[in-house]
Amino acid sequence: MLHKVSLGIADINKYRMIEARELIDEVVNLAEELKGLRLCHINSTPFGGGVAELLVCHIPLLCSLGIKADWQIIRGDRRFFTITKGLHNALQGAPFEEIKKESIRRVYQTSNLTNARELDPNYDVFIVNDPQPAALRHYLPDSQAKWIWRCHVDSSQPDGTVWNFLRPYIEEYDAAVFTTKEFIPKDLHLAKMVTMAPAICPFSSKNMFIKRYVCRELVENLGFDTNRLLITQVSRFDRWKDPFGTIAAYKLAKEKIPGLQLGMIGTFAPDDPESWDMHAAISAEANKDPDIFVFSNLTGVGNMEVNAFQRASDVIVQKSIREGFGLVVAEALWKETPVVAGNAGGIPLQMTGELSNYLVDSVEECAEKIVYLLENPAVSKRLGEEGREIVRRNFLSPRLIRDELRLIKSLVGK
């Protein structure tokens, strides 16, 4: 049997302190109509990256609402995850020629078939996240459940060969979900295609309130000088997050702000074999400057520490060149920390109004905006406050639960 992730308990009523009453009432009512529904999310890793982050919060909240929600993780060996990382990259537009080889396709197919046989099938609705498990539905043709494919990446311009390989699997689903309508590939044909943005949990250890002095102490204990300015990027060790662009922007900014420090916080995920090489390359670059620090989940920089960095940093940088959504942006804005981020994928959804002035298309622009914010703390403060309000209104868990339950209701015919 596939592994089911066991999680804590949540309480939707906690959100009444921060969310509009109508939203919470709608969520509660929808859940009441769907009470007892057996729902299962499936993905390829229980930690490291946005989907895992999202489900850790999402599943307990669904359970607290009376939905019988579970989360199953598919298995795969290094070969499978190397291929699926290629598929992930290709959905974001990078070529992945290997998929033309029958042997490579077979690894993906066989692994999905094995996982399909090990899946607990006793659910009314499955939500399959991202390309790794996308073929599961194909290998369970007799399933009476409703199947939803949830794409978390920017699939607006996928590599043609890979897309032609994946598309028939996805077209077997009852519905597909994308973060914005721009991400829906033009030739995808499905009866139901909807958009919903991801969301963060304000009560998780990643996002809960921590007093500033504690954050500063945490960061200080890791070697930072809290009397000097600090900028941080938090992301998987992944080429699309443009870590070298961030380091280059930091170096340019440092010419204007001597003593500036950079934190590069990253995760290794079991489904991402590329992260090791990327981590080594980033560390090699960081070793050239004593004010650049690289930390990861492998050395104990977990949710609380990320929370502390997002609060203690003067600016959070997320210089992505492709980005499905970028939970890290919402996380930083929720903490009222200003963000300079790549003008890519789902990031502009979060950085609207005045915040959009800090969406960047180049290293130079990134450095210029970082310097401006560091030199103008009053502007940073205003942007942080605006950012928190944008997140409060749009990107907290109950809104995502509502969107998901609305979709499920439309599919199960209640």
198 half-sphere exposure, CB direction, 13 A CA radius: 29
Closest CA to 308 of 226, 250, 241, 227: 226
CB nearer to ligand UDP: pick between 56 and 175: 56
Among 67, 265, 317, 408, binds ligand UDP (CB under 6 A): 265
CA dist list (Å): 397 to 18, 93, 361, 390 = 11, 29, 30, 14
Among 133, 158, 266, 387, binds ligand UDP (CB under 6 A): 266
Query: Which pairing describes strands 339-342 and 315-318: parallel, antiparallel, or unpaired?
Result: parallel
| Residue 404 interacting with ligand UDP (CB under 6 A) | no
Give residues 321-360 in contact with ligand UDP (rule: CB under 6 A). Answer: 324-328, 331
| Residue 267 interacting with ligand UDP (CB under 6 A) | yes
x/- letters, 12..51, toward ligand UDP (CB under 6 A): -------------------------------------xx-
Q: At 156, is the secondary structure helix, strand, or coil?
A: coil
Distance CA 156, CA 148 (A): 19
Query: Which pairing describes strands 68-73 and 3-4: parallel, antiparallel, or unpaired?
Result: antiparallel
CB nearer to ligand UDP: pick between 107 and 397: 397
List helix spans (H) across 289-341.
Answer: 303-312, 327-334
The least CB distance from residue 239 to ligand UDP, in Å, is: 11
x/- letters, 52..71, toward ligand UDP (CB under 6 A): -x------------------
| Residue 234 interacting with ligand UDP (CB under 6 A) | yes
Give the CB-nearest residue to ligand UDP. 50
Q: Going edge to edge, which strands form the sheet with 175-178?
A: 3-4, 68-73, 38-43, 125-129, 146-150, 175-178, 193-195
Among 206, 311, 369, 402, binds ligand UDP (CB under 6 A): 206
Residues at the interface with ligand UDP (CB under 6 A): 49-50, 53, 206, 234-236, 265-267, 296-297, 303, 306, 324-328, 331
